[in-house]
Amino acid sequence: MKIRLTSIIILIALALGGWFVYNTQKEGSNYQFKYGLDLQGGTHLMYRADISDVVDGDINGALNSLKETIERRVNIFGVSEPLVQTEVGGRLSEDKYRLIVELPGVTDTSEAIRLIGQTPLLEFRLLDSGKALKISQEQIEDGTLNIDVNELYVPTGLTGGLLERAQLQFVPPTNEPVVSLKFNSEGKDLFSELTKNNIGEVLAIFLDGEPVSAPVINSHIANGQAQISGAFTTEEARLLVRDLNFGALPVPIELIETQTVGPTLGQETLYKGAMALMIGFIAITIFLVIWYRLLGLIAGLSLIGYVIIMLMLFKLIPVTLTSSGVAGLILSLGMTVDANVLIFERMREELKGGASPYNAIQTGVKRAWSSIRDGNLSSLISAVILYWFAGAAIVKGFALVFAIGIAVSMFTAIFVTKIFAMAVSPDTKDRFKWLFNMGISNKKK
Amino acid sequence: MWIIKNRKIFYTFSSILVAVVIGLLFTWGIRFGIDFTGGSLLELEFDGKVPTHDELYSDLESYDFLAGYSLRSSGETGEILRTKEITDEQKNTIISGLQESYSVTESRFSSIGPTLGDELKTKAILAVVLALFFIVMFIAFAFRHVSKPVSSWSYGGITVVAFLHDLIIPLGAFSIMGHFVGLEVDSLFITALLVILGYSINDTIVVFDRIRENLSGVSEELKDKKFESVVGKSVNETISRSINTSLTTLIALTALYVYGGSVTQAFALALIVGVLAGTYSSIFLASPLLVSLNNMSKK
């Protein structure tokens, strides 16, 4: 009777699990399935990071700040869960350092590429001193000194595009760090004109719309060279030089892979995967019931348990589902049955030997265990190696689901199938024996 | 047992099959997908009128950057264009060009640089070799107590022979499909190979495990003499399990092939062929080979 109680508890637990899977699909739940780009549509970009100009030892630092910069830019998209990560490729690869950007829901690849790859906007803007004076006086009188600095500056047309190079220098005697700029010929002319006409004015330097320094023009500069000095630490100055030279990305990047999946294809793939899962499940159960009768039905039940546990784990871990992951789940459906089949075939031998169904199950599980263990371990080895070596997300997605599937399938075969089978098995030899016969022929022995 | 008795027939059959496949690999070869070679892949979805390949070829003729491209149908309304690497702008040019004549949308676009493909090749080979190595070690370990009459290493070695057989046959299938319908080998195919590896070995292990068990009931002196009949008995006892398991797996895979999406179709096909080969080899190759090996060592 204890076995029957246990099996009822398992049934209730599985039902609760099913309810959890269903219920957490509702809007706003934290446990909704996470879908990969290929199922929800979106853009995947892979860049090669050129670290040849990075001083040895600081590669990680450079890659980290690259990641941060790109994250800032990606956030402009307002995508719900963008992914930016750096990756170190194989030893032999030329593209050893990589940056991966995933933008779910974004299918305008050109816009995404443009935004990520853009160089920062370095601008020189003149302070409109008349306006500034007026505003600040008004506000001082109001008692509210609240100036939006950007409004006070007028663009001059002199931008980072006209820069030839930036350099970090230290000015004696205090060794104060300054950033020296050298303009190209067009920039030189523009800069010369600006400094000639606006002596005494403030010519501020803006980076991506934010002022970084606001030096005063002291004299006419005709040679196209300028210095940004001010309250820099050496580190800040160094970063600014880097940003100016490399287009604000700490290391230059080059696009080497793009993948875009339209939203309809993603949904269709998901729908088709779910469809294949259902049809596969139904066909397998029909086969099992025809061949193994009552035990086949139980194997079908334990297969439902398997799917529920898998889906729960997908939500709890959480596993990002991809089309290959769904394929892995469907494949594992067929392979999960293997452990059941092994047990049933062993049982059949025991039944032939005259054991009661109840005892036959116990011995069957015991004797099938070593093949179940060895077989699944070898599958697990290939799954782990796949996961380890997989560069492509599509392979990783499969390997993860496959590995989880192997573990769960061993559990459901040994516990769920066994306990259910024992719960329905009579302890005597002859009653209901036809229910436990196997094969399509129904020969009386 | 008839399978063991007639083993030479099965050896011959498999040898011919493997020889044919190797011939195919050298003549037709295998079409590698863009994951391996680099390049671009554009999947288009037509709404309403679906143009024929000839119509599309003439539509695409005007684009100079499309050198050596190929077209393949995907489902009833989809077309997959595969070409050398093109940029996003070039892709947009093609789509807007096609939109003048058809109602068409882009459903998938991938573009991969050539160096990534080289890395994938290295990784794929490394993964297969490593998986093989670990599994042989594992089998030799699991069967370490079974040293008579054949050593536990023989079990491991034969498992590898069976696996190579199961690996080469899907390659042949892809060579044929590549030649006639342009099916390509992608990174998921490599995944399929590793799954076939696991499956093939799992299948072989179940038979070997039974041999191990049945041998343990035989007294030491008789082991050598009775080896052939023990193997025959073990195959007989496991054959319905082998067939049933591969049937359920094939049911699942067929569902995936027929109803699943275009991305995993080739994957499902590779697995279907591999599972068939794996079931065949575990029954008709692996165990008979154990007997042959034992007979050879006696001479």
**pLDDT tens per residue across span B49-71:** 888 888 888 888 888 787 778 88
Phi, psi for residue A36 in degrees, rounded to 5: -75, 175
Q: Which of B63, B87, B112 is the last residue of a domain?
A: B112
B110 backbone dihedrals φ, ψ, rounded to 5°: -130, 140
Q: Which two tokens stand for residue A177?
A: 């760090």
- Residue B46: name the closest of B6, B93, B101 by CA: B101
Q: Is residue B144 located within the same domain as residue B121? A: yes
Q: Are residues B87 and B142 in the same domain?
A: no
Q: Which residue of A has its CA nearest to B204?
A: A375
**How far is the C-alpha of A18 from the C-alpha of A320, rounded, in Å?**
19
Interface probe for A, chosen from B264, B267, B282 (most Cβ of A below 10 Å), is B264
B24 and B136 co-located in one domain: yes
More confident site: B116 or A350:
A350
What's the sign of the alpha-carbon dihedral A372, A276, A327, A270?
negative
Position A13 scores a pLDDT of 92
Nearest by Cα to A3 from A427, A437, A435: A427
Please indicate whether, in this complex, the C-beta atoms of B43 and A342 are within 8 angstroms of each other: no
Q: Say if residue B120 is in the same domain as residue B261.
A: yes
Per-residue pLDDT tens digits for B278-296: 999 989 999 999 889 888 8
Assess B214–A contact: CB distance below 8 Å, yes or no: no
Interface test with B, best of A373, A382, A400 (most B CBs within 10 A): A382
CATH classification at residue B92: 3.30.70.3400
CB contact under 8 A, B202 and A378: yes
Contact criterion met (CB < 8 Å) for B198 and A288: no
pLDDT at residue A170, as a whole number: 83
- pTM, to two decimals: 0.77
In A, minimum Cα distance to B143 occurs at A374
Residues B165, B281 share a domain: yes
| CA separation for the pair A331, A338 (Å, rounded) | 12
Nearest CA in chain A to B90: A110
Averaged pLDDT, B17-34: 91
* Residues in chain A, pLDDT under 70: 1, 53-57, 76-78, 80, 89-95, 117-122, 129-151, 160-161, 207-210, 229-232, 239, 242-250, 390-393, 428-445
Instruction: Specify whether B60 is located in the same domain as B26.
Output: no
Give the pLDDT of residue B255: 92
- Using an 8 Å CB-CB cutoff, list chain B residues near A306: none
Say whether both B195 and B155 belong to one domain. yes
Say whether both B29 and B44 belong to one domain. no
Unique residue bearing structure tokens 């970084």: A212
Q: Quick check: A378 and B139 CB within 8 A?
A: yes
Which B positions 220-239 lie with beta carbon below 8 A of chain A?
237-238
Does the CB of B45 have a partner CB in chain A at under 8 Å?
Answer: yes
A265: nearest CA in chain B? B107
- Hey, which bits of A122-217 come out as E strands? 122-127, 153-159, 163-171, 176-183, 203-207, 210-213
- Provide the pLDDT for residue B130: 86
Q: Are the Cβ atoms of A272 and B261 closer than 8 angstroms?
A: yes
Q: Quick one: B191 and B243 in the same domain? A: yes
B chain contacts of residue A288, beta-carbon cutoff 8 Å: 248
Domain total for chain B?
A: 2
What range defines the domain where residue B62 resides? 39-112
pLDDT attached to residue A19 = 93
**What is the structure's pLDDT at A135?**
64
Whether A94 and chain B come into contact, CB under 8 Å, resolves to: yes
Which pLDDT does position B11 carry in this prediction?
Answer: 93
Lowest mean pLDDT among A347-351, B146-150, B270-274: B146-150
Taking residues B107-131, what's their average pLDDT? 80
Residue B96 burial by Cβ neighbours in a 10 Å radius (0-12, 13-18, 19+): exposed
Q: How far is A256 from chain B (nearest CA, A)?
A: 5
In this complex, is the C-beta atom of A386 within 8 Å of any C-beta atom belonging to chain B? yes
With an 8 Å Cβ cutoff, is B107 touching chain A?
Answer: yes
Give the residue-averaged pLDDT of B246-269: 88
Q: Where are the alpha helices (DSSP H) in chain B?
A: 2-5, 7-27, 34-37, 53-60, 88-99, 114-142, 152-181, 187-216, 223-259, 265-281, 287-298
- R_g of chain B, CA atoms, integer Å: 24
Domain end (from B112, B137, B155): B112
Q: Do A273 and B261 touch (CB under 8 A)?
A: yes
The minimal CB distance from B138 to the residues A287, A334, A378 is found for A378
Q: Which residues, including other chains, have CB under 8 Å from residue A80's CB and lie 6 or more apart?
A: A104, A105
Q: What is the residue-averaged pLDDT of chain B?
A: 85
Chain B partners of A87 at a C-beta cutoff of 8 Å? none
pLDDT at A285: 93
Domain boundary among the residues B112, B132, B152 is at B112
Q: Are residues B97 and B187 in the same domain?
A: no
Closest chain A residue to B118, measured at CA: A93
Best B85, B136, B202, B248 member to test A by mutation, with max A CBs in 10 Å, is B248
Chain B contacts in chain A segment 301-360 (CB below 8 A): 323-324, 326-327, 330-331, 333-335, 337-338, 341-342, 345, 349
Q: Could you tell me if A106 lies within 8 Å of chain B, comparing CB atoms? A: no
Q: Count CA atoms within 13 Å of residue A394 on its CB side.
A: 19
Q: Which residues of A touch B263 (CB under 8 A)?
A: 38, 269, 323-324, 394
Closest by Cα among A270, A320, A388 to A44 = A320
**B-chain residues within 8 Å CB-CB of A385?**
127, 130-131, 134, 194
Q: Quick one: B178 and B253 in the same domain?
A: yes
Domains along the sequence of chain A with CATH? 2-31+262-436 (1.20.1640.10), 42-119+252-259 (3.30.70.3400), 122-246 (3.30.1360.200)
Higher pLDDT, A377 or B117: A377
Q: Is A227 helix (H, G, I), strand (E, B) or coil?
A: strand
Which residue of chain A comes nearest to B89, CA vs CA?
Answer: A110
Query: Cα distance from B193 to chain A (closest Cα, Å)?
Result: 10
Phi-psi region at A224: left, alpha or beta (left = phi > 0; alpha = psi -120 to 50): left
Task: Mark whether B82 and B216 lie in a shared domain.
Answer: no
CATH number of domain containing B235: 1.20.1640.10
Q: How far is A274 from A281, CA to CA, in rounded Å?
A: 11
- Quick check: B55 contacting A, CB < 8 Å? no
**What pLDDT does A443 receive?**
43
Per the CB < 8 A criterion, the answer to whether A106 and A262 are in contact is: no
Contact B107 A284 (CB under 8 A): no
Tokens of A197: 């006409």
- Residue B44: pLDDT above 80? yes
